Amino acid sequence: MTLPHSLPHDWYPAPLPSNVRIGEGSWLYSSFAFLHCRSTRQQAVRIGRSSGVYMGSFFDLGPNGEVQIGDFSTLVGVIICSDQKVIIGDYVFIAHEVVLADHFAAAPTSIESNSEDADSESSIKDAGIVIGENAWIGAGAIILSGARIGTGAIVGAATVVDFAVPDYAVVTGNPGRFMPRLATTVKESL
Amino acid sequence: MAIEELTGRWDYFSLPSNILVGHDCYLERKDSFTRFRSSRSPGLILGNCVRVYTWTTFNVEPSGIVEVGDDSILVGAVFMCAERITIGKRVVISYHVTIADSDFHPIEAAARKLDAIANAPGGDLSKRPPLESRPVMIEDDVWIGIGAIILKGVHIGRGARISAGSVIARDVPAGARVAGNPAQIIHEAAN
């Protein structure tokens, strides 16, 4: 883990917040991503190794907000609006215009502190949102508090998820529905 | 680009004179207003203490009027306005929300082809077929969820809750909670 004060390629003049960690080989487009970041957690945002967080991504975190991103994950413009813990695993794809949020009508200022005194080593159990290893989140999907996206699962474009998606399952539509046949095909191919 | 133009610290008096801004507003990104081309007076009214974040854009045709009531929060409201869009007080509009009071192109295929020609680069915009529009009215204390789309002629009653990803083509009664595409009522108003 490195602790850069600024990104060498950055066009936005603000320094990176001191509670942001970016792992070796990872790319973050700009410190502009922290325009609304008010997290006071010791590690507000932790990006692992060789992950890309591209233009249009924002960390609109409240005081208790905390985001962990694993290794080899690609986020091409996700908005994360949370005052809780958000965990994104390794080898995850998150497509354009995806929002991860605590509340269906989330806003940067309306983030209520609802994670009462969570200590710094809070577990996955306490997290608002968990996206498992190797999951794929389609364009425009909306992932709300309570979502648990399993390993290898696929969330279709514009799907709304606030529930558990089992490992390797495929969920699409609004309201979200599972596509069992495809899920079986994926499992059998492994 | 000056950083002030991205962080709400630009001169709000540099907006066109037909935009009325109440006291204590926060208008984060100056570019939110670059597609405002209303020739009405006023063409945009923002009440007091309105917060307008980065993702919001006011795409207002010369004939359009947008009105936003006091204490409303516009996070990512994309207004597509040809006639009138009215937002009440204390309304929250979350990320990636589109509100349109017109389809902006004819339903009928032959008329739409003429519209395509008129809209092409170098085209003659005066040859566009007339737009059909119907005003959108969103009452006080409505919350509009992430990614919702509100279409022309819709009236959303006071205190209604529009779930994330909803597509709203019909009126929503006061206090109701709706969800889905097309949106269905999932809770009636609590009495």
Q: Using one digit for the tens of pLDDT, what is the confidence trace for A102-131? A: 999 999 965 444 444 444 455 666 789 999
Q: Which of A33, A30, A26 is nearest to A72 (CA)?
A: A26
* pLDDT score, position B191: 52
User: How many C-beta atoms surround the C-beta of residue B7 within 10 A?
Assistant: 17
pLDDT, position B2? 87
SS3 A43: coil
Which residues lie across from A28 on neighbouring strands?
A: A53
Token representation of residue A97: 């215009």
* Contact indicator for B46, B68 with CB cutoff of 8 Å: yes
Q: Residue A8 pLDDT more than 50?
A: yes
Contact B170, B185 (CB under 8 A): no
Say which amino acid occupies B25.
C
The model's pLDDT over A134-181, given as tens digits with 9 standing for 90+, comes to: 999 999 999 999 999 999 999 999 999 999 999 999 999 998 899 876
ipTM of this predicted complex? 0.93
Nearest chain B alpha carbon to A100 = B146
B185 vs A: CB within 8 A:
no
- Looking at residue A106, its pLDDT comes to 96
d(CA B123, CA A1): 55
CA–CA dist A139, B165 (Å, integer): 12
Return the residue in B31, B95, B178 with the most chain A beta carbons within 10 A, the one to mutate for interface testing.
B95
Residue B84 confidence class, pLDDT cut points 50, 70, 90: very high
Tell me the Ramachandran region of residue A11: left when phi exceeds 0, alpha when psi lies from -120 to 50, beta otherwise. Answer: alpha
The token pair at A31 is 């410190």
Q: Which residue of B has its CA nearest to A175?
A: B180
Quote the DSSP letter at residue A108. S
- Chain-chain contact of A105 with B51 (C-beta, under 8 angstroms): no
Phi, psi of A32 (to 5 degrees): -60, -25
Region A13-21: mean pLDDT is 93
Q: Is B181 on the interface with A (CB under 8 A)?
A: yes
CA B121 to chain A, closest CA, distance in angstroms equals: 28
Q: What is the pLDDT of residues B155-178, one digit of tens each?
A: 999 999 999 999 999 999 999 999
Chain A residues in contact with B180 by the CB 8 A cut-off are 174-175
Q: What is the pLDDT of residue A113?
A: 44
pLDDT at A180: 73
Q: Do B161 and A13 touch (CB under 8 A)?
A: no
Confidence of residue A187 (pLDDT cuts 50, 70, 90): low
- How big is chain B by its Cα radius of gyration, in Å? 17
Contact of A159 with A173, CB cutoff 8 Å: yes
Choose among A108, A52, A99, A53: nearest CA to A80: A99
Average model confidence (pLDDT) across chain B = 96
Give pLDDT, residue A44.
97
Q: What percent of chain A has pLDDT over 70?
A: 84
Structure tokens at B93: 């509009």
pLDDT over 60 at B71, yes or no: yes
In this prediction the pTM is 0.92
Q: Does B164 touch chain A (CB under 8 A)?
A: yes
Q: How far apart are CA A158 and CA A33, in angstroms?
A: 23
